[in-house]
């Protein structure tokens, strides 16, 4: 009984995993291997191998059969969309509805446990005709950033605005570089 209470207290000290009991299961993992998963069903298979069937059942509140469906190849007739597929669909729909910032916030939330944040892969494209106009376009974003800091807004909101401010400033930098190239500076 004492041993069970001690283990219970240890699980409570890691609140993110305490509800699933995955902590004990995942500590018995073998040595890390290189992950070669490229499809979402393969990612689910890797998660099942790493954490165990029971852990995934607790995380997703689904039975063994449903977890197996998530992990099966789409060729299999019993295959169903897994949570990765559903999130991809959700993010696609949100982006098409004009909620790009919400998608970025959600992705940053999901990437947080591994210490990552999203970063745009596309080149910054100036949206004003002149460098001067681009410079003026930077001010509202910077003013909003300063306003959020002044009112003690949530650090996540301040960071999001900071990233938007940086994107706007990079548009100005690109515009200036293009101007200099045209002028042979």
Judge if 76 and 8 occupy the same domain.
yes
Judge if 7 and 75 occupy the same domain.
yes
Q: List the structure tokens of 107.
A: 């992705």
Judge if 106 and 62 occupy the same domain.
no
Judge if 52 and 67 occupy the same domain.
yes
Rounded-to-integer distance, Cα 10 and Cα 184, Å: 66
Nearest one of 112, 114, 113, 108 to 164, comparing CA atoms:
108
Judge if 97 and 61 occupy the same domain.
no
Range of the domain at 94: 83-116
Per-residue pLDDT of the chain (185 residues; tens, 9 = 90+): 444 444 444 333 333 444 555 644 444 445 566 678 888 999 999 999 989 999 999 999 999 999 998 998 888 777 788 999 999 999 999 999 999 989 999 999 999 898 888 877 778 889 899 999 999 999 999 999 999 999 999 998 999 899 889 999 999 999 999 999 998 88
User: Number of folded domains in the chain?
Assistant: 3
Q: What is this structure's pTM?
A: 0.61
Judge if 138 and 94 occupy the same domain.
no
Judge if 76 and 87 occupy the same domain.
no
């Amino acid at each position: 009984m004492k041993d069970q209470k001690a283990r219970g207290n240890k699980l409570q000290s890691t609140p993110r995993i305490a509800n699933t009991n995955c902590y004990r299961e995942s500590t018995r993992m073998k040595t890390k291997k290189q992950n070669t998963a490229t499809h979402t069903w393969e990612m689910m298979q890797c998660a099942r191998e790493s954490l165990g069937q029971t852990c995934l059942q607790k995380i997703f509140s689904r039975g063994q059969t449903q977890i197996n469906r998530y992990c099966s190849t789409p060729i299999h007739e019993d295959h169903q969309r897994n949570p990765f597929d559903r999130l991809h669909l959700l993010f696609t729909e949100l982006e098409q509805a004009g909620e790009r910032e919400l998608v970025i916030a959600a992705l940053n939330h999901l990437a947080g446990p591994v210490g990552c944040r999203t970063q745009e892969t596309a080149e910054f494209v100036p949206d004003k005709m002149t460098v001067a106009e681009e410079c003026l376009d930077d001010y509202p974003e910077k003013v909003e950033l300063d306003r959020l800091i002044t009112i003690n807004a949530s650090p996540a909101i301040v960071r999001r605005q900071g990233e938007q401010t940086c994107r706007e400033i990079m548009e100005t930098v690109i515009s200036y570089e293009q101007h200099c190239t045209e002028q042979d500076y």
